[in-house]
Structure 1
Amino acid sequence: MAQNSPGFASDCQFWLQKLSVWEQASTLETQQDTCLHLSQFQEFLRQLYEALKEMDSDTIMERFPTIGQLLAKICCNPFMLAYDESQKFLMWCLCCLIKKEPQNSGESERNFWVRGLLCRILSAFRFEVKEVDLFTQALGYEPVDYCPGLLKNMVLSLVSELRENHLNGFNTQSRMAPERVASLSRICIPLVTLPDFKPVVEALLTYHGHEPQEVLWPEFFEAVNEACLLKKIILPISSVISLWLRHLPSLEKATLHLFEKLISSDRNGLRKMEHSIRDSLLPQAACHPAIFRTVDEMFRCALLETDGAPEVLAALQVFTWCFVEALEKGNKQPKFTLKTYFPYASPSLTTVLSQYPKAIPQGHRLQPLLYLAKLLREALEDQIHGSREGPFESWFLLAHFGGWADLAAEQLLSSEAELPAALLWILAFYYSPQDGSQQREQTMMARTDEITREIIGFLDQTLYRWDRLCIEGPGSRQLATELLQELRAQV
């Protein structure tokens, strides 16, 4: 927010009124209203600091005479002080009010007042009230031990109650009321990044009542998802899956967040790409078909919108590799068939492609490639015009398992004997799926700048895969490395 924005003064007045209402009535309704506005208020604090840091303290007090009252009220609100990063922005704003070289008693008093507020923030959660001291001593606690112990017991109690709710099913006498669960999710919004509250966050995410509609607040899901994306909280994969299944916008945001990271990185840096994909937890979560279908649909849209950009293709293939590994690791006896994950593709084609090339001995890869070409041709010949079983579906499936196209190219590059044209057909279909049969025959390994870039990508992926599979081939590796360097110098 710019410091001269017409709405800035009105925003300050709005929040000043809000804070006045919140401090006058400490009811459940006001606490819930506070929690719902916390993320919006934190953004206001950030923008306030951006405006104040450009001015000296005298200018600030002249332009915003109520700024001191506003900041003082924030310092008195424990919900504001507990929220992630709010203390930081608040302290920065207060520091802007300090006069470095006070010229009169008024400026010195202002500095003293600001320092007092800063001390109050830093000691906001220290319990030194006389009554509390006497009470804790009577119970045999030291004051420094009482509050952490109280917090721990409260968290354990809430977690136990939520789990009993899950285990007891329809036994309503032991179940937490849906209204209380909803209220708890609202109150937890500013607390999701606090380590002590992590068990409550996990218990809420895995809570399953029998209500027809979701009882947890969307803002709770959004806060947890944001904290996960920024690595401010680390949750077990089961909790993350539950989050994304219960709140589709969070899954979509997590996928878009990954896309932004992948597209902004080096297009040929596949190892960095793999690290980012694994770190996102999306491949592991995609073992659940509903999550896989959502992520896969977003990849589909990205490919269509970018006209099959190499960066998106590479991201899809690395994601599929990580997904297949997670599927094999987590499901020794898979619960879902491949048809569940790829419902619009030919089942026989899906089965062949899913048998990743790494499982085929190096000297026996020609026959599977010829069989794959046969299945692809049959799928294209049997297509129904205008249906989802068209050429794009077969190509989209092949794009997931792009290692087969790389394998066909490897066979053509490494063999001295004349190889069947079916290998060229696979490559032509992979790089030009929109072409008709006759046009595809004319397109096969035609030299253009775009094809050169595709070859660069292929060589980089080949070297990457050889490293993963521990394939030696020093002669071929050196040739591929030299060719990669030569081609990169040309574009």
Structure 2
Amino acid sequence: MAQNSPGFASDCQFWLQKLSVWEQASTLETQQDTCLHLSQFQEFLRQLYEALKEMDSDTIMERFPTIGQLLAKICCNPFMLAYDESQKFLMWCLCCLIKKEPQNSGESERNFWVRGLLCRILSAFRFEVKEVDLFTQALGYEPVDYCPGLLKNMVLSLVSELRENHLNGFNTQSRMAPERVASLSRICIPLVTLPDFKPVVEALLTYHGHEPQEVLWPEFFEAVNEACLLKKIILPISSVISLWLRHLPSLEKATLHLFEKLISSDRNGLRKMEHSIRDSLLPQAACHPAIFRTVDEMFRCALLETDGAPEVLAALQVFTWCFVEALEKGNKQPKFTLKTYFPYASPSLTTVLSQYPKAIPQGHRLQPLLYLAKLLREALEDQIHGSREGPFESWFLLAHFGGWADLAAEQLLSSEAELPAALLWILAFYYSPQDGSQQREQTMVELKGILSHLLLLLRRGPLSAWELQAVASERPRTDPRPPAYDQLVRRLLLTFLFWAPEGHMIAKETITHVSFPLFQIQIGCQPCFWNTELPPRLHAPCSAMARTDEITREIIGFLDQTLYRWDRLCIEGPGSRQLATELLQELRAQV
């Protein structure tokens, strides 16, 4: 038919006249005549598409100058659209008229006009004409039932062709042409949020041809991604993964959208944070290594740019926890090893870190921690001598599974014999990864003194908040310590208050009493003492110490993370849990 243009042009003229007659009269005879010609018209429409797809849009307009008028009239005839595959062939014919790269205003206007017709076909089907009433009533349907069925049939046809199924009894062995897929993706841009059109969106996202380059329009990916982020469309995880794998900017935007959501919400609410992270679908999608590596790299940049902000660190740890759960749930027979997700880390170290010892009783956690410290030190030595990243890679890996540092602190506070140096090393490295070996050894000595003092307080008898303040005020060196060291000391003291039953008695007074500013920044005070012998009862702390909102938020973060970790590990601790919950509510009311 494509070779017989004159005869085909006459066919176009015949149907143009028929359509003009049908639209001018709304009688039973006209409807009957239309129905009699439907089968013949569908064959014409199919041949029309076969002819047009071999030409570019300029050639089409030159050979068939009335083609636009013909297709416009078809779009206005509900009987033509209602018949079997007519909607699909009409849509493809309209796609052939689109100029891929319009060179002038006329071609741009034509593209706009064609897209308007396509949108009408795909999204509306609200025909306010009497023919629909008569036709559907004769079939026993109401228009409200029948018209949406037109869209449904068209969507099924498109999905079927995209998936290379059999259409209308014809065996379609050839694949859909890449340019047709590209045109469809462009046409779909304003329609991605339509619920009835969702199957086409999914079929496009999962469509895979043999082309070396992506055929779908970037704007299509952007529109679908935006609709997903705003919850205007809910796609299965397989489609979301395909979207993010095929269009990296969409994955980056989804990750940034999550970051913004976490920052704008209650930054210390880890349960809310977990809900937002799961709702983003990023942990589930990250089971694909390429997606995980991209999201992980963005977390890395966020930590570096914020100098390890607690909020970013907490988000990374919650994300990792959700990711590991999704990986375990989805990979009953693992498709990828952990080495695939953490290619620069020691496989044995990654395995140990990912297997958080939640099933190991409290009294049997020392050996896993000692083994972890050994692997970390070996990895750190390798990186110092052979990696341009230095210690950051090992710290970044440990930061994903930060609960190990909390376990190390708890284990140290439960030691009845010599304090394990390996656990001191884990804490010193986790809170100050940038320190050299000599500075880290000095930090370990200082931590050992503080821990020995705390354990001595426990053995001595009833605790006093003033005595605990003395531990917080100790400074063995005259030069100032970095903020990370003060944070580590505060974490040890807070852990002590909730780990030791004796600490429960003074926890509330120690943390919230306005006249006793424990955990505050000290300004210009001299060291109180540094030995393991208990001093006499101390006087009131230095008046230069002042409570800051920053440290209050730090304590809130500790309480929230502790409760979150207890829930994760199914730790009961009813007394500690109730105390931490009450303190968390009280402190949140202050900021």
TM-score calculated relative to the size of structure 2: 0.59
User: Is 2:123–2:191's contact at 8 Å kept on the other side of the alignment?
Assistant: no
Contact 1:245–1:290 (8 Å) recurs in 2: yes
Once the two structures are overlaid, the 10-residue window that deviates more, 181-190 or 288-297, is 181-190
CA contact (8 A) 2:38 2:83 kept: yes
Deviations 1:118-174 (A, max 9, x none): 999999853122444455556665433332111111011111111117999999843
How far off is 1:439 after superposition? 1.2
For 1:173 and 1:59, locate their aligned partners in 2 and report how far apart those are by CA, in whole Å: 28
* CA distance 1:80–1:366, change in 2 (3 Å): farther
Task: State how far apart, in whole Å, the 1-side matches of 2:334 and 2:360 are.
Answer: 21
Residue number in structure 2 paired with 1:300: 300
The range that moved more, 281-290 or 424-433, is 424-433
For 1:360 and 1:246, locate their aligned partners in 2 and report how far apart those are by CA, in whole Å.
42
Residue 103 of structure 2 corresponds to: 103
Change (3 A) 1:475 1:39: farther
- Bigger drift between 275-284 and 2-11 goes to 2-11
- Partner in structure 2 of residue 490 of structure 1: 590
Deviation at 1:411, TM superposition (A): 1.9
In structure 2, the CA distance between the partners of 1:417 and 1:102, relative to structure 1 (3 Å rule), is closer
Pair 197,447 (structure 1): closer, same or farther in 2 beyond 3 Å: same
Tell me if structure 1 keeps the 8 A contact 2:370–2:422: yes
Residue pair 1:166, 1:208 contacting (<8 A) in 2 also: no
User: 1:473 is matched with which residue?
Assistant: 573
Deviation of 1:283 (Å): 0.2
Q: Which moved more, 1:164-173 or 1:251-260?
A: 164-173
**Alpha-carbon offset, residue 55 of structure 1:** 51
Q: Does 1:157 align with 2:157?
A: yes
Q: Confirm or deny that 1:237 pairs with 2:234.
A: no
Paired residues in the alignment total 491
How far apart, CA to CA, are the structure 2 residues paired with 1:226 and 1:290? 21
Q: Which protein shows a greater Rg?
A: 2
CA separation of 1:489/1:16 partners in 2, compared to 1, >3 Å: closer, same or farther? Answer: farther
Q: Which moved more, 1:323-332 or 1:46-55?
A: 46-55
8 Å CA contact retained: 2:202, 2:239 = yes
User: How much does 1:419 deviate?
Assistant: 2.8
Q: For residue 237 of structure 1, report the CA deviation from its aligned partner.
A: 0.4
**Does the 8 Å contact 2:425/2:440 carry over to 1?**
yes
- Distance apart, 1:86 and its partner CA: 28
Q: Following TM superposition, by how much is the alpha carbon of 1:211 offset from its aligned partner in structure 2, in angstroms?
A: 0.8
Question: How high is the sequence identity, in percent, across the aligned residues?
Answer: 100
Shift of 1:288: 0.2
CA contact (8 A) 2:244 2:291 kept: yes
Name which of structure 1's ranges 23-32 and 318-327 shifts more when overlaid on structure 2: 23-32
Residues 427-458 of structure 1, C-alpha deviations (whole Å, 9 max, x = no match)? 11111100112212333599999888656534
Measured against aligned partners, the alpha-carbon deviations of 1:255-295 in whole angstroms (never above 9, x if no partner) come to 00000011122222100000000000000000000000000
Name which of structure 1's ranges 469-478 and 46-55 shifts more when overlaid on structure 2: 46-55
CA distance in 1, matches of 2:155, 2:120: 26
Show CA shifts across 1:93-121 (max 9, x none).
Answer: 99999999999999999999999999999
Ranked by relative contact order (alpha carbons within 8 Å, sequence separation 6 or more), the top structure is 1
| 1:409 Cα deviation from its structure 2 partner | 1.8
Give the C-alpha shift of residue 412 in structure 1: 2.9
Shift of 1:425: 1.5
- Counterpart-to-counterpart distance in 2, 1:303 and 1:84: 57
Cα RMSD over matched residues? 14.2
Q: TM-score, normalised by structure 1?
A: 0.70
Change (3 A) 1:68 1:205: closer
1:379, CA displacement in angstroms?
Answer: 1.4
Judge conservation of contact 1:244–1:250 (CA < 8 Å) in 2.
yes
Residues 1:33 and 1:314: Cα distance change in structure 2 (over 3 Å):
farther
1:35-87 Cα deviation digits (max 9, x unpaired): 99999999999999999999999999999999999999999999999999999
For residues 192 and 82 of structure 1, the distance between their equivalents in structure 2, rounded to whole angstroms, comes to: 23
Distance apart, 1:373 and its partner CA: 1.0
Name the CA shift for 1:215/1:477 in 2 (closer, same or farther; >3 Å): same
- Give the Cα–Cα distance (whole angstroms) in 2 for the partners of residues 122 and 271 of structure 1: 42
Q: Relative to structure 1, is the Cα distance of residues 206 and 118 closer, same or farther in structure 2, using a 3 angstrom cutoff?
A: closer
2:558 counterpart of 1:446: no
SS in 1 for 2:153: helix
SS of equivalent residue, structure 1 residue 2: coil
Change (3 A) 1:142 1:264: closer
Which secondary structure does the structure 1 equivalent of 2:384 belong to? coil
Residue 208 of structure 1 and its aligned partner are, at CA, apart by 0.6
Deviation at 1:359, TM superposition (A): 3.4
**Structure 1's 226 and 114: CA in aligned 2 closer, same or farther, altered over 3 A?**
closer
- In structure 1, stretches of 5+ residues that fail to align are none
CA 1:231–1:103 in structure 2 vs 1: closer, same or farther (change >3 Å)?
closer
Comparing 432-441 and 152-161, the one that deviates more: 432-441
How far does residue 23 in structure 1 lie from its aligned partner after superposition? 20
1:136–1:57 distance in 2 versus 1, CA, 3 Å: closer
Provide the secondary structure at the position in 2 that maps to 1:156: helix
Structure 2: 5+ residue stretches without partners = 445-544
Give the C-alpha shift of residue 421 in structure 1.
2.5
